């Protein structure tokens, strides 16, 4: 497929790569186990900074609503959602994986962390659902009905999540 594309745009085809070894020719145990995530002293400060940015964006959405500049809200919601998803990805890949790895031999705390992670993901889903609901609203009527109540509810969820993460969860992120 790539060779056809290269030919089409005038590049020479690459020589064929050596064939991969047959699956049964790999020795058992030759694939190393997955590496545990490593500690990053800058991760928690970066996550807290994300929280400040998310709160500032969320507050800007509220001020924009109060100023009745409804046409600006979908773009602000998109910016907020993009920033939130990047934060959640970092948390899930770097923070939770590390903490779960360091607590793998502590069944009680590992269970607690996993419960916390599920709870935080539920809260995040609620925030994302709010954003999606109003992101597509291009009309003033759609934003005037229900937006403020939903905004306040989601704001409460967001504050709850941030307080719990920073107060209860982030202190568990320590070097091993």
Task: Break the chain into its structural domains and give their ranges.
Answer: 43-172
Tokens of 85: 């998803």
Least confident range from 34-38, 89-93, 95-99, 107-111: namely: 34-38
Question: In terms of DSSP H, where are the helices of 2-146?
Answer: 2-8, 43-66, 73-90, 97-102, 107-135, 140-144
**Whole-number percent of the chain with pLDDT over 90:** 46
CA distances from 92 to 12, 38, 86 (A): 42, 14, 10
Burial class (CB in 10 A: 0-12, 13-18, 19+), 138: exposed
Confidence of residue 14 (pLDDT cuts 50, 70, 90): low
pTM over 0.85: no
pLDDT at position 120 over 70: yes
The answer to whether domain 43-172 has CATH 1.10.10 is no
Q: What is the pLDDT of residues 78-99, one digit of tens each?
A: 999 999 999 999 999 999 999 9
47-to-14, 28, 88, 123, 162 alpha-carbon distances in Å: 44, 40, 9, 17, 10
CA 46 to CA 150: how far, in whole Å? 28
Is the pLDDT score of 29 beyond 80?
A: no
């Amino acid at each position: 497929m790539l060779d056809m594309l290269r030919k089409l745009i005038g590049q020479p085809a690459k020589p064929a790569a050596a064939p991969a070894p047959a699956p049964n020719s790999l020795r058992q145990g030759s694939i190393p186990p997955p590496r545990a995530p490593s500690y990053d002293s800058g991760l928690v400060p970066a996550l807290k900074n994300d929280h400040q940015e998310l709160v500032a964006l969320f507050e800007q959405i509220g001020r924009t609503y109060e100023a009745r500049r409804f046409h600006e809200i979908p773009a602000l919601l998109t910016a907020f959602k993009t920033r939130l998803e990047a934060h959640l990805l970092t948390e899930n890949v770097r923070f939770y994986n590390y903490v779960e790895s360091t607590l793998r031999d502590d069944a009680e705390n590992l269970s607690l962390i996993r419960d916390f992670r599920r709870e935080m993901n539920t809260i995040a889903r609620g925030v994302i659902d709010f954003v999606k609901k109003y992101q597509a609203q291009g009309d003033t009527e759609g934003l005037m009905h229900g937006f403020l109540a939903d905004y306040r509810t989601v704001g409460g969820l967001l504050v709850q999540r941030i307080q719990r993460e920073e107060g209860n969860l982030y202190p568990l992120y320590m070097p091993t």
